[in-house]
Amino acid sequence: MTKTIYQNIAELQARGESMALCTITAAQGSTPRHIGSKMLVFENGEFTGTVGGGELEHRVLDEAWVAIADGKPRKLNYSMTDPALGDPGVCGGQVEVFVEPLLPPQKIIVIGGGHVGKAVAHLAKWLGFRVAVSDDRAEFCTIEMNPDADEFYPVPMEELPNHVNINRQTYLILTTRGVSTDIPGLPVLLETRAAYIGVIGSRRRWSMTVKGLKEIGIENNKIERIHSPIGLELNAETPEEIAVSILAEIIMLRNAGSGKPMSSH
């Protein structure tokens, strides 16, 4: 039996995948489909349902994939009169399509469940993120050690993408114990669509990490995705202060903030 659009939405949401629901919200005159017609667009380029086919549908699909990427809904208006003027059809009517991105909850994955990782998990949960903790040391990856986490992945960093869907709604925070952990673990994370990858440590540690990544063939454009030293400059010292610095950077980037004092605006 063919799945309904709503069944597809439920299954994709359960798997933590992104999609966009496109609905005809207004139609006048002769149009290919009526008000309420729906099309569900998947991130992998596939779709189900229709809003009319042809050039109209092609344009809506393009807008849907952009909506999945930027997370912003949009209202599209098309006249179906004269292709010579750029119209997507000749039916003679007008159609309005609402494109709604349906994205999974924003998730922070803390890799490294020690003192700083625990503080980051606590603050991230308070800020409304879904929180996962991963550590190759099983004793650091428990509800007792990190009571604010929703998920636990006691696996080596390089195996993490095999256990959790890392998408554009995912922020990776590496509060790891050193370069020897970061260099073998980062390459596979750089192949994901994570919205943010941050690595804790000093500038010297980061320069050593960069050197090691280049030695194993990681290209500069991939290394440039990584934020390190992680966080905003607050002269933070305690795990809790460091957590504030890290989460402040993530909120700044997510909301396109400047990071400047409000008094300077």
Indicate if the pLDDT at residue 96 is higher than 80.
yes
Structure tokens at 108: 């922070």
Give the model's pLDDT for residue 83: 58
Q: What is the pLDDT of residues 150-187, one digit of tens each?
A: 999 999 999 999 999 898 899 999 999 899 999 999 99
Query: Is residue 79 pLDDT above 80, yes or no?
Result: no
191-233 pLDDT per residue, tens: 999 999 999 999 999 999 999 999 999 999 999 999 999 999 9
What is the rounded average pLDDT of the residues 37-53? 88
Question: Domains in the chain, start-ordered, CATH in brackets?
Answer: 5-102 (no CATH), 107-263 (3.40.50.720)
**What are the C-alpha distances in Å from 65 to residues 36, 71, 78, 155, 165?**
20, 10, 18, 33, 19
Report H helices in the chain: 5-14, 54-70, 115-126, 179-190, 203-215, 220-223, 239-254
Give residues with Cβ within 8 angstroms of 240, minimum separation 6.
119, 123
**Cβ neighbours around 141 below 10 Å, total:** 23
pLDDT over 90 at 93, yes or no: no
- This prediction's pTM: 0.82
Residue 125 in contact with residue 116, Cβ under 8 Å? Answer: no
User: Cα 158 from chain centroid?
Assistant: 19
Average pLDDT, the chain: 90
Quick one: which of 152, 147, 116, 118 has its CA closest to 135? 152
**Residue 135: pLDDT band by 50, 70, 90 thresholds?**
very high
Name the token pair of 207. Answer: 């320069």
